[in-house]
Amino acid sequence: MRIHHIPASKVSADDDISIRQVPYHIIPDWLHAGVTDIHLGGRASLFYGMMFAAVGVIIHSIFAENYWLLAGTTTGFFLLGPFLAMGLYDLSRRMEAGEPPALTPTLIAWLPNLMNIALFTMLLILVFFAWIRLSMSIFAHYFNGALPTFADVVINVFTFKQPTFLFIYFSAGALFAVFIFSISVIAMPLMLDRNASAWTAAVTSLRTCARNPITMSLWAFCIVVLVGFGLVTNFLGLILTMPVVGHASWHVYRNLIEVKD
């Protein structure tokens, strides 16, 4: 299934970019388009899924004995997802243009707009490290300065021994996730597709979310569910769920943004 254009009212983001307003029931179409692109992309799509899963396993292996750091690093890793999925966006773009799916060109898709993509990625990395630092601080504060074991965390989660810890930790994580989602959901595909500046891409992404608050909130929830499924399956589920998210995100961009040639 391919989604190229849907009729919708538009609001101008700048002289060359218009933002469409779309209904929330378009989300299943985005997911279906993502699954279709995996089927068409074949090994190239699954390569990226395997990379996400492999990094997840590596992180878990390194920090398995330090759950306080494992939690922040694992969740923070997905803050870098908009950049790491660049190859999936490019693969969908090439297939949409009628080109055969090929992995090699997607590995260097960021080169034509290197400066702006690098600037945006640096911002993602800074947020990533800020979240890890905050995550460690929250754990240390609520566990009396001692860094907890995995068993300590599980006991606290299931017995609600420290409800304030749970509220603060997940609220802080949600704020970081909402920030990254809001500035990047459209930004990376726009910089890839139209060589837009990092500033224009981020502002356009924010305006897109503001223009479609319900639709984008539900789309963010879908991403959380897909990523969560990948995590609870010991990262193996990421082999499929991350390509779905990446490919579908390209169709999200194509539906929501219109750029004048």
What digits encode the pLDDT tens for the residues 160-180?
666 777 788 888 888 998 999
DSSP secondary structure letters along 156-216:
HHHHTS-HHHHHHHHHHHHHHHHHHHHHHTTHHHHHHHH---HHHHHHHHHHHHHHSHHHH
Nearest Cα residue to 34 out of 77, 88, 110:
88
Q: 205-242, pLDDT tens digit by residue? A: 999 999 999 999 999 999 999 988 888 888 899 999 99
Query: How high is the pLDDT of residue 9?
Result: 45
Instruction: Output the pLDDT for position 7.
Output: 45
pLDDT at 149: 55
Position 15 scores a pLDDT of: 53
Collapsing DSSP to helix, strand or coil, 258 comes out as strand
Read off the pTM: 0.85
Q: What is the pLDDT of residues 28-74, one digit of tens each?
A: 999 999 999 999 999 999 999 999 999 888 888 887 666 667 777 87
Lowest mean pLDDT among 152-156, 243-247, 250-254: 152-156
Angle 252-238-205 from CA coordinates, rounded to 5°: 25
Return the pLDDT at 186.
93
The per-residue pLDDT for range 131-157, each reduced to its tens digit, is 888 888 887 777 665 555 555 555 555
- Amino acid identity, residue 59? I
Per-residue pLDDT tens digits for 74-100? 777 788 888 889 999 999 999 999 999
**Burial (0-12, 13-18, 19+ Cβ within 10 Å), 80:** middle
Mean pLDDT of the chain: 84
CA dist 256 and 248 (Å) reads: 12
Kindly tell me if the per-residue pLDDT of 1 is higher than 60. Answer: no
Q: Which residue has the tokens 């849907």?
A: 6
Higher pLDDT, 126 or 152: 126
